[in-house]
Structure 1
Amino acid sequence: MTRTVNGSAHTSGQVLAAYKYCETVTGQEARNFAYGIRLLPTAKRQAMSAVYAFSRRVDDIGDGELPPDEKLRRLEGARSLLERVEAREVEEDDTDPVAVALADAARVFPIPMGGLGELIDGVQMDVRGESYETWDDLAIYCRCVAGAIGRVSLGVFGTVNGHDHARAAEYADTLGLALQLTNILRDVREDAGNGRTYLPAEDLAKFGCAEGFHSDSPPPGSDFAGLVEFEVRRARSLFATGYRLLPMLDRRSGACVAAMAGIYRRLLERIAADPEAVLRGRVSLPGREKAYVAVRGLAGVDARRTARTPAPVADPRRDA
């Protein structure tokens, strides 16, 4: 797909068109993700758009209106696509632009396709309506739908200055958990309306919220603010560890991660400041604030701060 012509890389028009399609999907569908990948050089931006477009397809299957059996069948179809990509069986004239772009990205970068398989595993958990008794149970789901994407992205970003890739993958995974837990807090009311509960059952019971969230007020007699504070502390700890990925990346890859993570980190603090806001509607950041976070990322502010901060001693995946 990407051929060498007279010593220079040449990408065919069909592959470029496939990437263009994926970038369009990313621009239209990714509220926060797009702010980060805009900061990447062309090849990495294209590869990340292909990863996003595939991930969006998988998420849309899980969130759609089809019967569960049909969703599971289509998810297996997505898994078959990954197998074709890994086997290098996707040709540039394939009619699926996401397959073409992802296959080309996998030729250019060492993308761990198993991570996208884990995403499918996580969405299958959604389709089956699984719930989570403890944080350890929920963390398995979060690693599938978010931590794995962090590890996939690291395949595109790479590491610099001799940093250990395995350690970087651990940080990417942890940062994914932080982002997903923030998502879960933001969407508690919407998820309840769709018959889904993600927060650990033991946490809900501890704070009197086992009845769920079906109105714009907390359950009667509950300590909803205490529940949110508890989960926010957990997410902050995950962010603190996950941010240690930033100094391990080149400047523009670090800026991309800092922008995406920074948006969610600020979103988390908005939730912490007004816990009941998540029951009244979708909490979000204005575009100007997202742009400010992106500029901070490009300036390397968060990466420099992280490099000066000692690593947390406690296991960030548990709340003491």
Structure 2
Amino acid sequence: MTTGTAAPPRGAAAELDAAGITTPALRGAYARCRALNAEHGRTYFLATRLLTPAQRPAIHALYGFARMADDVVDAPGAATVAEVVARIEEIRARMRVALSGERDVLTDEPVVAALAHTVERYAIDHRYFEDFMDSMAMDLTVTDYPTFDDLAVYVHGSAAVIGLQVLPVLGTVVPRAEAEPSAAALGVAFQITNFLRDVGEDLDRGRIYLPADELAAFGVDRELLTWCRERRYTDPRVRRAIAHLVARTRAIYRRADAGIALLDPVSRPCVRTAAVLYGGILDEIVAADYDVLAHRVVVGNARRAAVAGPGLLRAVAARHRPGVRRRTR
């Protein structure tokens, strides 16, 4: 993969200018990450529009790297598990080289180059990326999670660390460590929301990201889920199990919500909007009577606009309001 020297799109260029990123190859690397976010992370990308332009490239870089690794794991095709493992370890190796300060990845792996620049700029702990890669590797061998505690091991690396990665970019008005538990919880809430929305698609890949013991309490197992998926039908037992897990996920959102007030004021509208939009997925699951196997629920464009509009007004107001001193460490 190469970045080339083509100028970034106009919107990306304005963000890169605001962030003070001037090197042509690095600008191309960040523009690539932004394109990945715009293409694949519809809710996430919309929320990033509420950040200051200077913050957005870093968020795009973090998203772009996560997306690149996730796509390797989930990409369809005839690749064997060994081949996918090799590619994951190749990405991990490139990541380690880049995070060590080497810059030779700039021309052949732009997403990793943008990541390394962001990590250095915001002093993000390298451990979070190792944990993330560990969870990506788990996807190749683990297809079921007996309990919520077992699922939590996976979700720590796939989601909690994402919240911890973006926290330095968002900034805080308290020492960063005080905001970390809420940031991690919000990442977990987003991830489990995705699991509930994508039960059918994940099942098609042979995976179940819902705790088996909590499903079993409602008489649900892999066999029943598969039977329902094949017939595009959601059994009442499945509906009750999903309703229970939706309620449990809402409780995680409530724990995370307290942390929004700890963020830099200019970042709060973005995070609040993301939380409302992702929470809206749960609302859509409820509205569909917990039918997550016949079709994939989505938050409609009208609702996205209704949520993002007020968020934009709050974001603009926050940028022009004398704020509390920002902390990033």
Mark the runs of 5 or more structure 1 residues left unpaired by the alignment: 1-7, 302-320
- Out of 124, 129, 144, which is 1:111 matched to? 124
Per the alignment, residue 308 of structure 2 pairs with 294
**Structure 1 residue 93 displacement after superposition:** 4.8
Partner SS, residue 207 of structure 1: coil
Per the alignment, residue 195 of structure 2 pairs with 184
1:188-214, Cα deviation, whole Å (9 max, x unpaired): 111112211111111121111112422
Which of 194-203 and 107-116 deviates more?
107-116
Partner SS, residue 32 of structure 1: helix
Mark the runs of 5 or more structure 2 residues left unpaired by the alignment: 1-18, 316-329
Per the alignment, residue 62 of structure 2 pairs with 51
Per the alignment, residue 247 of structure 1 pairs with 261
- Inter-partner Cα distance in structure 2 for 1:196 and 1:83: 29
Per the alignment, residue 218 of structure 1 pairs with 234
Contact residue 135 and residue 157 of structure 2 kept, 8 A: yes
Per the alignment, residue 49 of structure 2 pairs with 38
Per the alignment, residue 209 of structure 2 pairs with 198
**Structure 1 residue 294 displacement after superposition:** 2.1
- Out of 4, 15, 21, which is 2:32 matched to? 21
Alignment-mate amino acid for residue 206 of structure 2: G
Per the alignment, residue 280 of structure 1 pairs with 294
- Inter-partner Cα distance in structure 2 for 1:137 and 1:98: 31
**Structure 1 residue 36 displacement after superposition:** 1.2
- Inter-partner Cα distance in structure 2 for 1:165 and 1:115: 15
Evaluate the alpha carbon distance shift between residue 248 and residue 295 of structure 1 in structure 2; reply closer, same or farther with a 3 A threshold: farther
Whether 1:270 aligns to 2:284 is: yes
Question: Structure 2 matches for 1:227-238, cutoff 5 A?
Answer: 227-238=241-252
**Structure 1 residue 73 displacement after superposition:** 1.0
1:13-63, Cα deviation, whole Å (9 max, x unpaired): 221121112111211121211011112223320011111111111000110
- Out of 113, 128, 136, which is 1:123 matched to? 136
Alignment-mate amino acid for residue 225 of structure 1: R
Whether 1:138 aligns to 2:154 is: no
Per the alignment, residue 99 of structure 1 pairs with 112
- Inter-partner Cα distance in structure 2 for 1:148 and 1:9: 26
Alignment-mate amino acid for residue 292 of structure 1: A
Partner SS, residue 54 of structure 2: helix
- Inter-partner Cα distance in structure 2 for 1:19 and 1:192: 34
- Inter-partner Cα distance in structure 2 for 1:240 and 1:166: 19
- Inter-partner Cα distance in structure 1 for 2:185 and 2:289: 23
TM-score, with structure 1 as normaliser: 0.85
Per the alignment, residue 84 of structure 1 pairs with 97
Whether 1:207 aligns to 2:213 is: no
**Structure 1 residue 291 displacement after superposition:** 2.4
Partner SS, residue 42 of structure 1: coil
1:88-136, Cα deviation, whole Å (9 max, x unpaired): 1125853321122112212321222322222211111111134111111
Alignment-mate amino acid for residue 106 of structure 1: V
Alignment-mate amino acid for residue 43 of structure 2: N
- Inter-partner Cα distance in structure 2 for 1:295 and 1:187: 27
- Inter-partner Cα distance in structure 1 for 2:171 and 2:299: 29
**Structure 1 residue 83 displacement after superposition:** 1.1
- Inter-partner Cα distance in structure 1 for 2:204 and 2:106: 42
Q: Which consecutive aligned stretches of 4+ in structure 1 deviate over 3 angstroms post-superposition?
A: 296-301
- Inter-partner Cα distance in structure 2 for 1:291 and 1:231: 27
Partner SS, residue 165 of structure 2: helix
The alignment's C-alpha RMSD in Å is: 2.1
Per the alignment, residue 261 of structure 1 pairs with 275
Number of equivalences: 291
- Inter-partner Cα distance in structure 1 for 2:118 and 2:59: 8
Evaluate the alpha carbon distance shift between residue 25 and residue 174 of structure 1 in structure 2; reply closer, same or farther with a 3 A threshold: same
Alignment-mate amino acid for residue 307 of structure 2: V
Evaluate the alpha carbon distance shift between residue 93 and residue 147 of structure 1 in structure 2; reply closer, same or farther with a 3 A threshold: closer
TM-score, with structure 2 as normaliser: 0.82
Per the alignment, residue 159 of structure 1 pairs with 172
- Inter-partner Cα distance in structure 1 for 2:267 and 2:103: 28
Alignment-mate amino acid for residue 33 of structure 1: Y
1:244-298, Cα deviation, whole Å (9 max, x unpaired): 1211112332222122221110111221233343122110011221122223434
- Inter-partner Cα distance in structure 1 for 2:131 and 2:21: 32
- Inter-partner Cα distance in structure 1 for 2:284 and 2:20: 46
